[in-house]
Amino acid sequence: MRVPFYLAQAAVTLLCLSCSSHPPASHQPTEVTVNELLSAPDRFDGAWVLVKGVLLAPKVGDIAIFQTEPDYHHHPPEMGIPLALDPHKHNLMPFQLKRCVVEGTFHASRAPGVRSQVGQIRRLELAE
């Protein structure tokens, strides 16, 4: 009667796996908009995200991604999410405003006057 033993062992193994406190690792970033990051930063804190929008590389200040170009032109800078990256490493020109895709880790800020940002950039693609 070895069959019931193996069935019981398989059932216990499946039960242990399903009750594990660790969620399965995601191999894909969470696709999210700039507006979603701005409206619910705590929800995405520490998450690997993929964001599509408009990138601005100013001569001085934060490199940031905005939902749309009018968000940059008609709203305060708080409508963008700063990107923690080196403009020279990514060959960005000052005042460059281009559609882009950014993939990195989102860090929500709880400190007054400190903005949330996307860091540990894994991918930055600019439209031609």
Mean pLDDT of residues grouped by 10 in the chain (128 residues)?
A: 52 46 65 96 97 88 89 79 84 84 95 91 90
Write down the pLDDT at residue 72. Answer: 80
The pLDDT score that the predictor gives to residue 16 is: 46
pLDDT of residue 61: 77
Does the domain at 26-126 match CATH 2.60.40.1220? Answer given as no
Helices (H), the chain: 2-18, 34-39, 41-44, 69-74
110: left (phi over 0), alpha (psi -120 to 50) or beta: alpha
pLDDT score recorded for residue 57:
83
What is the C-alpha separation between 126 and 128, in angstroms, rounded? 6
Phi, psi of 73 (to 5 degrees): -75, -30
At position 62, the amino acid (one-letter code) is: D
88 vs 53: CA distance, rounded Å: 20
